[in-house]
Amino acid sequence: MHSLQTVVDLSRWQFAATALYHFLFVPLTLGLSFLLAAMETVYVTTGRKIYKDMALFWGKLFAINFALGVATGLTMEFQFGTNWSQYSRFVGDVFGAPLAIEGLMAFFLESTFVGLMFFGWDRMSRGKHLLVTYMVALGSNLSALWILVANGFMQSPREAVFNPVTMRLELTSFADLIFSGDAQAKFVHTSIAGYVTAAMFVAGISGWYMLRNRHMELAKRSFRMAALFGVFASIGVISLGDALGFIDGGAQPAKLVAMEAMWKTRTPPAGFNVIAFPSQKQQRNLYEIQIPKLLTPLVTRTMDTVIPGADEVENQAMVRMKDGIPAVLALKTLSADPTNQPALAQFKAHEQDMGYALLLKRYAPDLRAATPADYQRAARAVIPNVAVIFWSFRVMVLAGFSMLFYLGVAAYCSLNNRVQDRRWLLKLAPWLIPAPFIACEAGWLVAEMGRQPWTVYGVLPTWMSVSTHSVGYLVFSLTGFVLIYSAFIVVEAYLMLKFIRKGPDEGRLAAPLH
């Protein structure tokens, strides 16, 4: 049992580490591709060479980031098979298609057009090259779409049914999978978060140039475009974050409990915990500062809907565990005799709660002998790590609003042509470059740790999803990943800093307008 828990933990660490590393590169690719397209659009429509120089310079930084993003993403797809083989077998019918399309989008559409974009400047007309740049941007974002569709299913698995004969989840509607509310909100939220990342990146570097009076023509234009691009994207990402919270809050009450550190069900309208120090062991907040009556309208769009606290979620989980046991017992019979009609009927009557009984099995291998203490432990496990999720969520929100505020002021000052006079604004810009990356990482922590203890929410517990590797193998591969990916980060940082310090090719830059 101890070894299994270690294998589960190490598999989770490995996936989390690779995903978090990978997502240091992804958002910049998603957003910078469209920002490049915007710069090139001005070049094609006005014919001013400075915009081509901008596209070339920022394109160089895009290329470094893109290459490392693809390299770090490759291993993740394989990890589903190597470390999560039980999960892959269980949901392969649902998960396989979006994952395959994502791979095709990334490697064929995106990579082909990236090659044309980098090497096609002198080989294609302006219009054709612009089209290629838009295809790169579209390809990058569509590639992200498919993996987020798959993730949306894991968060809210409504588009599949479990087949007790094949012992797998089977897709009921591909269209429903793509158009699920979770997938839609998650994709738009993630994609636009990438736009904000690119805006902060370009604004930060442009601000740094302007402070040093270097490459002023390029920096002023880049700063203006990034600020406008970013301010609207920030509004979008916050709106979609709210929509995603609304959808996830309804689908995953345990995640909402963790995000809001809400241990007890309160009479509506419930208060919003601005600050809290949650104790998972004691199931209460050691300290909290609350804004009264704010949480209920935020989460439910009403003033009188009851939001279940941890106590209620745990009670409901215990009821569902009891109800799911006949379904799991029927599966045993069906695995020996798939035509057994009474077993099939028994399974059908209880299949809604099968996942909860599988969760209980972690604590009571013989479900018929499960004790109240086993139920209690399993029910407690339904609540994810509250402290991490609570604070990750607040870090994300704080970073999001800070960026909106900064980009709003930056856009206003830039439109009034006063950016050069606001040196504090320019000084702040490079320091804010990490903000969107921190927000993105924190957002993924909320999404993924908040789904625990499930890989597929309410259906497949994490403990049943892993492969049967040895602890030694996982320690070895995890160490290898961390070392190699850390080296990638160092390489990226070195190359980025080198090209940023060097700046755009002065000799090739267009002459200033005045």
Partner 1 sequence: MILLRMLLYLVISLVTLFLVILLGQRGAWYFAWVLGTVMIVLIAAAGGALLDAQEEAKQSGQ
Would you tell me which residues interact with partner 1 (CB under 8 A)?
A: 34-35, 37-39, 41-42, 45-46, 48, 51, 141, 175, 178-179, 181, 184-185, 187-188, 191-192, 195, 220-221, 224-229, 232-233, 236, 240, 243, 411, 414-415, 417, 513-514
Using an 8 Å Cβ cutoff, are 145 and 62 in contact? no
DSSP state for residue 506 in the 8-state scheme: G
Nearest distance in Å: CB 184, partner 1 = 4
Nearest distance in Å: CB 34, partner 1 = 6
Using an 8 Å Cβ cutoff, are 186 and 155 in contact? yes
Q: State which residue, 88 or 234, has the beta carbon closest to partner 1.
A: 234
Cα(262)–Cα(240) distance, rounded to whole angstroms?
23
Q: Residue 511 region, left (φ>0) first, then alpha (ψ -120 to 50), else beta? A: beta
Nearest distance in Å: CB 451, partner 1 = 20
**Residues in contact with 129: Cβ distance below 8 Å, sequence separation at least 6, in sequence order:** 40, 116, 117, 120, 121
Cα(31)–Cα(403) distance, rounded to whole angstroms?
15
Q: Which two tokens stand for residue 366?
A: 């013989």
Using an 8 Å Cβ cutoff, are 482 and 17 in contact? yes
Using an 8 Å Cβ cutoff, are 194 and 246 in contact? no
Tokens 């990438």, located at residue:
194
Q: What angle do CA 147, 259, 250 make, to 5 degrees?
A: 65
Q: State which residue, 232 or 499, has the beta carbon closest to partner 1.
A: 232
**In the 3-class helix/strand/coil scheme, how is 6-50 assigned residue by residue?**
HHHHHHHHHHHHHHHHHCCCHHHHHHHHHHHHHHHHHHHHHCCHH
- From the centroid of its chain, how far is CA 497? 26
Cα(360)–Cα(235) distance, rounded to whole angstroms?
42
Helix (H, G, I), strand (E, B) or coil at 466: coil
Q: State which residue, 38 or 459, has the beta carbon closest to partner 1.
A: 38
Tokens 């999803």, located at residue:
465
Strands (E) across 164-228 are located at 168-171
Using an 8 Å Cβ cutoff, are 36 and 59 in contact? yes
Q: State which residue, 134 or 485, has the beta carbon closest to partner 1.
A: 134
Q: State which residue, 38 or 343, has the beta carbon closest to partner 1.
A: 38
Phi, psi of 277, deg, nearest 5:
-115, 90
Nearest distance in Å: CB 300, partner 1 = 19
**Residues in contact with 504: Cβ distance below 8 Å, sequence separation at least 6, in sequence order:** 53, 54, 56, 57, 215, 218
Nearest distance in Å: CB 441, partner 1 = 22
Would you say how long the chain is, in residues? Answer: 514
Nearest distance in Å: CB 110, partner 1 = 16
Q: State which residue, 51 or 87, has the beta carbon closest to partner 1.
A: 51
Q: State which residue, 10 or 509, has the beta carbon closest to partner 1.
A: 509
Using an 8 Å Cβ cutoff, are 230 and 236 in contact? no
* Residue of 254, 499, 225 lying closest to 381 (CA atoms): 254
Q: State which residue, 38 or 132, has the beta carbon closest to partner 1.
A: 38
Q: State which residue, 233 or 466, has the beta carbon closest to partner 1.
A: 233
Helix (H, G, I), strand (E, B) or coil at 289: strand
Cα(27)–Cα(196) distance, rounded to whole angstroms?
9
* Residue of 508, 489, 507, 514 lying closest to 25 (CA atoms): 489
Q: State which residue, 294 or 409, has the beta carbon closest to partner 1.
A: 409
**Residues in contact with 403: Cβ distance below 8 Å, sequence separation at least 6, in sequence order:** 196, 200, 230, 234, 432, 435, 436, 439
Nearest distance in Å: CB 236, partner 1 = 5
Nearest distance in Å: CB 221, partner 1 = 5
Give the HSE-up count for residue 510: Cα atoms under 13 Å, Cβ half-sphere: 19
Q: Which two tokens stand for residue 329?
A: 């017992």
Nearest distance in Å: CB 53, partner 1 = 12
Q: State which residue, 42 or 398, has the beta carbon closest to partner 1.
A: 42
Q: State which residue, 230 or 384, has the beta carbon closest to partner 1.
A: 230
Nearest distance in Å: CB 36, partner 1 = 10
Nearest distance in Å: CB 225, partner 1 = 4
Nearest distance in Å: CB 257, partner 1 = 25
Nearest distance in Å: CB 207, partner 1 = 15
Q: State which residue, 67 or 510, has the beta carbon closest to partner 1.
A: 510
